[in-house]
Chains A and B, each alone.
Chain A
C-alpha cells in the first residue's frame, strides 16, 4: 500500500493535479489506516460508501484548491446531513440530521472528502474522552493513556496519520489539550471567527470549532476555508484573510508575555523546562520575552464551572425524546415521566452531573450569587488580557500542567477534569484564539505542548510564531 497521506498537502496537491494519484487513492489509504488503528477507537461513524462515491466524482473535476480531494474527519458534535451525529451520547445514538453545519458546507464546497465522525467526550464534557458512550480513545503515543478531550478522536486521528485534518470543538480546552497530549497542531480560533451553526451547543458563549492538523502551515490552510461571517450565527464575525501570510517572516522584535500563573509549581517540571527552553530560543532570536501577571486569571476555572455549566443545562434541555433522539421504552403515565426516564437513560453520569450544577447556579437567588457575578469577573479577565495585548504581541505558556494521564485516574474526581484545563479555560473566557503545538517529548516519550495565545483575530501572528518554533524544534512536515 502506498503512503501518499504522509506527504505534505502541497505535495499531495501537486500529484492530484498531475494525475499521479486520484482522490480515491487517498480515501482508500484512509480506510486502511482506520483498520490498522482500530484499537484506538477514534471513530464513531464511518462514511466509507459516500467518501468513495465523492472521491470518484472528483476524478472528473478540476483540482482548483489545495484542499481538493483531501480527506478530513469531523468531531461527532458537528452536524452532518444524512450522516449520524451522536455527540458520543446514547440520547443521540440514532440521530441522523437533516442539514449541514456551516463548516461542513464550506468543507464540501472545497471538495474535501469527509471520512467519518470522530469519538469525543459525551457532549464535549470531559477532558479524557472517557465519558463517551462509545468508549475510550487511546493516546496516540501510549495506549495505556488517555487521549485527552473532549476532542480526543480528532487529535488521535491526525496524530496516527489516519487523516491529515480533522475538526474539533473547544469550550475550555477541548482542542488544545488533546492536541498537546497527542503531539499535533490544534487551534481554538477567536470566538466568532468560525460559525457555530451546526455545532451542537455545550456552552454557547465559549464554544468554538477549530482545525487539527499535522503542522502549522496546514492548520492555517484549513482555517482559511472555515472562517467568515455566517448570517445563521449572530456571534460570528466578518473576517476574510490568508492565515498563512505571515508564516516564514522574521520574528525578531516581537514582544511576548509569559504569565507567572502558567509557570507555577503545579506544572510538571519537565514540561516547564521545555517551555523555558523555548523562551531561551526566542530570546536568542531577538524576541522580547517577559514574565507578567494577569489579574483574575486564577478564577477562570470556577467561572467556567458556573458559566459553561449554566449554559449547558439550558442547551441540553432540548434532548427530551419528543422530536428526535432516544426515547425511553418504559411505560409512562405522563409527559414528565417520559422526560425523566428518557434523560435518565439517555445521558451519561458526567453530563448529568454538569447539568445539575448548571441548573443549581441559575436557580432562584443563586443566579445573582453565582451566574451574574461570574459574568462580571469574566469581563475582568477579558479586560486583563486586553491590557496585556496593548504591550505584547502574544502570550505563551504550557498547554497543560502535566502529561496525558492513565485511564481511570480522574474519572471519579469531579474537579480534576476542570484542573486539566487550568491554562486553556482563560482563553475561552476572554474569547481569544489559542493554539497548541508540539515542542518536544518527555523522558516518557509523551509529547509536550506549547500554548500560544493571541489577541482577538490575531491568528495570523500566532501562526507566524508557531511556524518558527516548529521549524526550530524539528516539526514533522512542512
Chain B
C-alpha cells in the first residue's frame, strides 16, 4: 500500500504596526507603493532597522506552538535575484530559527496526534508582483512586512490531519493576536510537500505552492495522492518538482522541475547584531498570551455549554472575548452562550459584521441573560428583544415596557388563563388523567400562545400541574 507523507510550510504576516526592518507602516489594501521608504526599495546606502514587535511576536509564536526558544539569535541573508525582492536578498533566519521542536495537537475519528513542528523563523515579505501580458507591476507596500514561517516535520498522514493542523494553527495564531491569518488577503499562505512510499523510507517529494484556502489544501492532497499513485502504478518515476493548485480545474499544475539544489548563499546578516533572548523577556511575552482555543473548549465544557455551541463559539474570537468578559461578570454562561451563538452570531454571519459593529451592546446582552436567568422573560421574548435591539438599538427594559413584553407572573391572572385553556382542551386533560405527561407540554404551549409568550414559564408550569392534579384527584 502506498502511504502518503505530508509536510506543511505556513507563512503568516505578523500583526505589527510597522514593517520588520524599516519604520514604514504594515498595511493591507492601501494605494500601491505608498507605504514605502528608501529601505523598502533597497536603495543604496540604506540599512535595516529592527522592529521589536517582530521579535516579541516571534517569541510568542514559539511559545504558543510549544517550541524550544533559541536564546541567541541572528538573521541571515538569503541571496537570489528576483524583481519582487528589492535588495536581491531576503533577510530571514537560516542558522538560528527562533523556535524548534514544537507541535500542534489534532483529534479526529478517535485519534489524538501531535503534529510536530520542525522550526519556526522570522523573515521579511517580498513585494507583490502583478503579471500582466508582457510586463510585471511591482507593489512594494508588502515588501518588508514581517512574516513567521512555520514548518512541520514530514509527519502528516492524510488530508484530515492537514486540515485540522491548519485550522488549529489558524485559531491559535488568531487568538494569541499574532496574525490576522486571512488567507484570502494573503496574510496566511500554505505550501505543501507530499510524497508517497510503500516503505518507511520517504518517496520523491513534490511541492505544491501558494494554496489559497484550507479546503484547497485537502483537495490538492487528495488530487496529488491520486496523481502520484497512478504514475507509480504505471511504473513512472515521480520527479522532484514544484506544482501549484488550480482552483478552476481542481488539479495541480506543474510550475517548474527542481534544479539541482538551489544555492541561496546564506550568510549572517552583518547589519543586524546578535540578539539575546533572556528568561525575563520570555516571561513578559508569556503574560500577553490569552486563553487559547483548546483551553477555552475545556473551560466551556466544564461550564456545561454543549459541544455544538462550543464549536460555533470558537469560530468567532470576538464573541469568545465577549462571553469571557460576561462570565467574569457572573452571567449564566450556558444561557449567554446560547444567545450569542443562536441569535447574535447568525445575524453577524449573514451581514459579515463584527460584534462591535452591531447595535447590540455588551450591557444589552448582560441584561437579557440576567432577565432570562431570573425568569423575568421567556426565551421567546428574549429573541424578540434582541431582534429589536439589532434593528434599532436601545435599552432592554425600555423595550420590555414599550412593547408590553413584561412577563405575567401574577398567580390569579395566570390561573384564569390556565383554566380557560384547560376548559377548551378537554381531550388533553383526559390524556393527562390517563397518564400521558406530554399533554402538560401541549397545554403549556397553549398558555404561551394565549399570552403571546408573556406567561412566566415556571409559575405557569407549577400552576398548571397543580390544577391538573386537582382535577384528576377530584375527578372533575
Contact = CB atoms under 8 A, between A and B. Distances in A.
A318 interface: yes
Interface stretch (A191-199, A251-259, A287-295, A438-446): A191-199
Contacts of A362: 79, 265-267
Contacts of B81: 317, 320, 336, 339
Contact of B45 (A201, A310, A364): A201
Interface stretch (A11-19, A229-237, A271-279): A229-237
Interface stretch (B97-105, B179-187, B211-219, B268-276): B268-276
Interface residues of B, number: 32
Given A234-B273, A235-B271, A85 B265 contact: no
Interface of A is mostly: loop
A324 B45 CA distance: 13
Contact of A359 (B46, B86, B265): B265
B32 interface: no
A99 B81 CA distance: 25
Contacts of B82: 335
B270 A323 contact: no
Interface string A187-208: 0000000001111110111000
B137 to A, nearest CB: 12
A169 to B, nearest CB: 11
Contact of B87 (A87, A198, A317, A336): A317
A157 B465 CA distance: 110
A363 B79 CA distance: 10
B267 A314 contact: yes
A92 B44 contact: yes
Contact of B265 (A232, A319, A367): A367
A77 to B, nearest CB: 8
B34 to A, nearest CB: 15
A200 B271 contact: no
Interface in A277-328: 310-311, 313-314, 317-320, 322-324
A322 B129 CA distance: 13
B270 A205 contact: yes
A323 B41 contact: yes
Interface in B30-51: 38, 41-50
A98 interface: yes
Contacts, number: 101
A429 to B, nearest CB: 13
B88 A197 contact: no
B83 interface: yes
A371 interface: yes
A69 B143 CA distance: 41
Interface in B335-354: none
A375 B273 CA distance: 14
Contacts of A231: 49
A44 interface: no
Contacts of A31: none
Contact of B89 (A97, A314, A322): A314
Contact of A320 (B45, B88, B263, B265): B88
Contact of B47 (A197, A203, A323): A197
Contacts of A92: 44
B265 A311 contact: no
A85 B38 CA distance: 15
Contact of A323 (B50, B86, B272, B273): B86
A232 B49 contact: yes
A98 B36 CA distance: 13
Contacts of B86: 318, 323
Nearest to B21: A234
Given A235-B271, A362-B265, A317 B79 contact: yes
Interface in A202-238: 203-205, 231-235
Given A98-B38, A317-B79, A85 B44 contact: yes
Given A232-B49, A234-B272, A362-B79, A313 B44 contact: no
A144 to B, nearest CB: 34
A78 B77 CA distance: 23
Contacts of B273: 234-235
B41 A234 contact: no
Contacts of B110: none
A179 interface: no
A235 B47 CA distance: 10
Interface string A345-377: 000000000000001001110010001000100
A34 interface: no
Contacts of A85: 44-45
Given A95-B44, A200-B45, A233-B47, A364 B38 contact: no
25 contacts: A78-B45, A85-B44, A87-B44, A95-B44, A200-B44, A201-B45, A203-B270, A204-B271, A233-B271, A234-B47, A234-B49, A310-B267, A311-B267, A314-B265, A317-B88, A318-B44, A318-B87, A319-B44, A320-B83, A323-B42, A339-B81, A359-B265, A362-B266, A363-B263, A367-B265
Given A99-B38, A314-B89, 11 more contacts: A87-B44, A201-B44, A201-B47, A204-B271, A231-B49, A233-B271, A313-B265, A317-B87, A324-B44, A336-B81, A367-B267
Interface of B: 38, 41-50, 77, 79, 81-83, 86-89, 136, 138, 261, 263, 265-268, 270-273
Chain A to chain B: the 8 pairs with minimum beta-carbon distance, closest first? A317-B88, A362-B265, A205-B270, A204-B270, A79-B45, A198-B45, A200-B44, A318-B42
